[in-house]
C-alpha cells in the first residue's frame, strides 16, 4: 500500500494530536506483530524499499528513504555526518605570522576550510605518529605579505584601493605536489572548494608564512572532517480529511497548512489534500486550534517514510554521499558478521571493529 494512500495502515502512522503524539514507540523487532507471519523475505523487502531523489543541486539533495525502521535511517544519518571520510588540513607549521590573529586561532580556521580532494585517492594514517608520505599527506604552502598601494587614490578609505594583499583567502593555499601526486591528482588539483573564504585581514608590514599538511579523517574525530554541512530527516506528513469542510470555512482551513498542501476547487469549494505537496507541511497543528476543525481532520506522520535533506560541503557531489555512507555500513556489517562467526566457531582471535577506510 502506498504511503500516500489516505487509508494507509494505521500501524505505519505516528498520531499527532493537540497536546500529545501517539504510537511513537517501536517494537523490539520492528515490523513484526503478534500472531502474524513477518519472517524475512528479500523479495518483499525489495518491493517495499524505495529511494527516490526529489531535488538535486550542486550542493544539496533531498531524497526519500521508504520502507526501513528509524534505526536504519538514523544509522545512515550518523554515518554521513561522522564516518564518511574526507581530507582536511591537520598540521600547521607556522614559520611567520605577524597578523593580529594568533597562531592557534588561524590554524583552526585553516583546518576548517573544505578541500576538493577525493578521499579514495588518499590513504588514512593508522595513528597520528605515522610517517607522512605522498600516499597519506598533501602539503600546501600559504604565503602572503600586505603592502601599501603606491597608486591608491588620494583620500580613499577603501582597503581594496589602499592595500595590496590585505585579505588572506582560501585561494592563497598553494598545493605542493610530492612523489606521484602530480600524476594522481592531475585531473583535479587539490584546492579549497570555495576560494573566497576570508581567513585573516592584514595591514602593511604584516606577513603570513605557513606550511600545511592535509590528511584523511572522519567526522567523529573532528567536525572539520564531516563531508556535510547538514544531514537531517523528517517523517512524511499524513493528512486525512474525515468529513467535508464547509464552503465558507474552506480558505480558513487551507491557511492552517503550509502553502500548496490543501487544494480548493474553484467551482465547488471542495477541499482536498495535494498528495504531491503534502511533504511541504510542517505539521504545526494550527488546524487543531479551531473547534470547528477538530473532528474534520486527522494529522499523523508515516513512521517508515523518511525525507532526507543533505548539504554537501566538501569533495563529494551530494548524490554520492549516501553511496559512501552505504559502503561504510556494509563494511561495518561485514566486520560484525566476521566477529559473530568467530564467536560461533569458538575462535579466540579478536576482530578489529575500527573503520580504517
Q: What is the pLDDT of residues 268-286, one digit of tens each?
A: 989 999 999 999 999 999 9
pLDDT per residue as tens digits for the range 203-226: 999 999 999 999 999 999 999 999
Q: What is the pLDDT of residue 6?
A: 52
Backbone angles phi and psi of 170, in degrees to 5: -60, -25
Give the mean model confidence (pLDDT) for residues 327-356. Answer: 80
CB 108 within 8 A of CB 349: no
Spatial distance between the Cα atoms of 84 and 355, rounded to a whole number of angstroms: 10
Cell of 96: 611567520
pLDDT at site 327: 95
Confidence band, pLDDT 50/70/90 cuts, at residue 300: very high
pLDDT of residue 1: 41
Q: With a cut of 80, say whether residue 350 has pLDDT above it.
A: no
- What is d(CA 55, CA 280) in angstroms, rounded to the nearest whole number? 13
227: left (phi over 0), alpha (psi -120 to 50) or beta: alpha
Mean pLDDT confidence for 239-248? 92
> For the stretch 233-264, what's the b/e string if a residue is b when 16 or more beta carbons lie within 10 angstroms of its beta carbon?
bebbbbbebeeebeeeebeebbebbbeebbeb
Q: What is the mean pLDDT of residues 317-323?
A: 95
What pLDDT does 96 receive? 96
Q: Are 86 and 193 in contact, with CB atoms under 8 Å apart?
A: no
pLDDT at 2: 46
Residue with cell 465547488: 268
* Res 59 pLDDT > 70: yes
List, for residues 124-167, the tens digit of each pLDDT value. 998 888 899 999 999 999 999 999 999 999 888 999 999 999 99
* Domains in the chain with CATH codes: 11-27+40-82+230-310 (3.30.1360.10), 86-225 (2.170.120.12)
Residue 346: pLDDT band by 50, 70, 90 thresholds? confident
Percent of the chain with pLDDT over 90: 76
The per-residue pLDDT for 233 is: 96
The pLDDT of residue 212: 96
pLDDT at residue 351, as a whole number: 61
How far, rounded to the nearest angstrom, does the alpha carbon of residue 34 sit from its chain's CA centroid?
37
Residue 317 has a pLDDT of 93
Q: Please, which residues have CB within 8 angstroms of residue 42's CB and are 6 or more apart in sequence?
A: none
pLDDT of 45 reads 87
Q: What is the pLDDT of residues 78-137, one digit of tens each?
A: 999 999 999 999 999 999 999 999 999 999 999 999 999 999 999 999 888 889 999 999
pLDDT band at 241 (very low <50, low <70, confident <90, very high): very high
Amino acid at each position: 500500500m502506498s504511503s500516500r494512500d489516505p487509508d494507509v495502515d494505521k500501524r505505519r502512522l505516528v498520531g499527532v494530536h493537540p497536546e500529545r503524539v501517539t504510537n511513537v514507540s517501536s517494537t523490539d523487532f520492528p515490523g513484526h506483530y503478534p500472531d502474524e507471519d513477518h519472517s524475512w523475505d528479500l523479495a518483499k523487502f525489495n518491493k517495499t524499499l524505495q529511494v527516490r531523489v526529489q531535488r538535486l543541486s550542486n550542493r544539496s539533495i533531498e531524497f526519500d528513504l521508504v520502507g526501513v525502521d528509524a534505526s536504519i535511517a538514523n544509522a545512515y544519518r550518523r554515518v554521513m555526518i561522522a564516518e564518511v571520510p574526507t581530507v582536511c588540513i591537520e598540521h600547521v607549521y607556522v614559520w611567520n605570522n605577524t597578523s593580529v590573529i594568533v597562531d592557534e586561532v588561524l590554524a583552526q580556521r585553516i583546518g576548517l576550510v573544505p578541500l576538493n580532494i577525493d578521499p579514495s585517492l588518499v590513504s588514512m594514517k593508522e595513528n597520528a605518529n605515522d610517517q607522512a608520505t605522498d600516499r597519506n599527506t598533501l602539503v600546501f604552502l600559504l604565503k602572503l605579505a600586505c603592502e601599501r598601494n603606491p597608486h591608491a587614490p588620494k583620500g580613499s578609505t577603501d582597503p581594496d584601493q589602499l592595500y595590496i594583499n590585505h585579505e588572506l583567502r582560501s585561494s592563497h593555499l598553494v598545493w605542493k605536489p610530492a612523489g606521484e601526486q602530480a600524476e594522481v591528482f592531475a585531473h583535479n588539483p587539490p584546492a579549497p572548494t570555495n576560494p573566497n573564504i576570508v581567513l585573516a585581514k592584514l595591514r602593511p608590514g604584516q606577513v603570513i608564512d605557513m606550511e600545511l599538511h592535509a590528511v584523511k579523517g572522519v567526522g567523529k574525530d573532528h567536525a572539520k572532517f564531516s563531508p556535510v554541512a547538514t544531514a537531517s530527516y523528517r517523517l512524511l506528513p499524513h493528512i486525512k480529511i474525515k468529513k467535508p469542510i464547509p464552503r465558507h470555512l474552506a480558505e480558513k482551513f487551507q491557511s492552517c497548512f503550509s502553502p500548496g498542501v490543501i487544494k480548493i476547487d474553484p467551482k465547488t469549494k471542495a477541499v482536498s489534500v495535494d498528495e504531491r505537496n503534502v511533504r511541504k507541511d510542517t505539521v504545526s497543528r494550527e488546524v487543531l486550534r479551531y473547534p470547528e476543525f477538530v473532528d474534520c481532520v486527522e494529522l499523523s506522520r508515516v513512521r517508515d517514510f523518511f525525507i532526507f535533506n543533505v548539504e554537501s560541503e566538501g569533495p563529494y557531489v551530494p548524490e554520492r554521499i549516501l553511496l559512501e555512507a552505504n559502503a561504510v555500513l556494509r563494511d561495518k556489517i561485514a566486520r560484525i558478521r566476521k566477529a559473530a562467526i568467530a564467536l560461533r566457531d569458538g575462535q579466540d582471535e579478536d576482530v578489529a571493529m575500527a573503520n580504517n577506510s
